[in-house]
Amino acid sequence: MSTGFIVRLLAPLLCLLIALSHAQAHSHAPAHPQEQPMPLPGPTDRVILTLSGDIAYPNVGDEAHFDRAMLEALPSRVIETHTPWHSDKGRFEGPLVRALLDTVGADGDSLRIRALNDFEAQAPRSDFYDHDVILAMSRDGEPLGIRDFGPLFVVYPFDAHPELLTEAVRFRSVWHVERIIVP
């Protein structure tokens, strides 16, 4: 067999392999199926946050209920920032909102964040992936109580990103958070 004959025979096969490799690299499906996440455990203490709506991993009926320990177990951040509601800079700590959304498999372009007094604000999902927004559980090392915007307070990194100091973002900075709905 001549070299030219082998090249003509193998060239279409090589092109097919390259095309398949390219398609797999650009597909939305992973090359290797990933394991299903572990089921979300149920709370063992008083529930302080409920997520509902378009979530993939509920733990109580079709909702995800979280107690304080469950929220503390999520990836968290410390944000040192001023807020429009405090006269001094605070050191806020709590789970990243995006970590919470990923944990429950939230899908959707926006969130409705509801406070204990039924105040509700809508926020685009992109806020939580573009910035390190947290669900603050403490300020300056002290747990947030009701009188201190707690038990949960949506805190944006205002000092690190002054462009966030807008009326729209201030409106999304809900305190006394008790529920997040993924429409």
45-74: per-residue pLDDT in tens?
Answer: 999 999 999 999 999 999 999 999 999 999
pTM above 0.75, yes or no: yes
Which pair of tokens denotes residue 69? 């320990």
Express each pLDDT in 8-47 by its tens digit: 443 343 333 333 333 343 333 333 344 455 679 999 999 9
Express each pLDDT in 117-170 by its tens digit: 999 999 999 999 999 999 999 999 999 999 999 999 999 999 999 999 999 999
* Contact in structure between 104 and 51 (CB atoms under 8 Å): yes
Sketch out the chain's domains with CATH numbers: 47-182 (3.90.420.10)
> What distances in angstroms separate CA 115 from CA 24, 43, 138, 176, one per listed residue?
44, 20, 17, 5
Phi and psi angles of residue 46, each rounded to the nearest 5 degrees, phi first: -60, 130
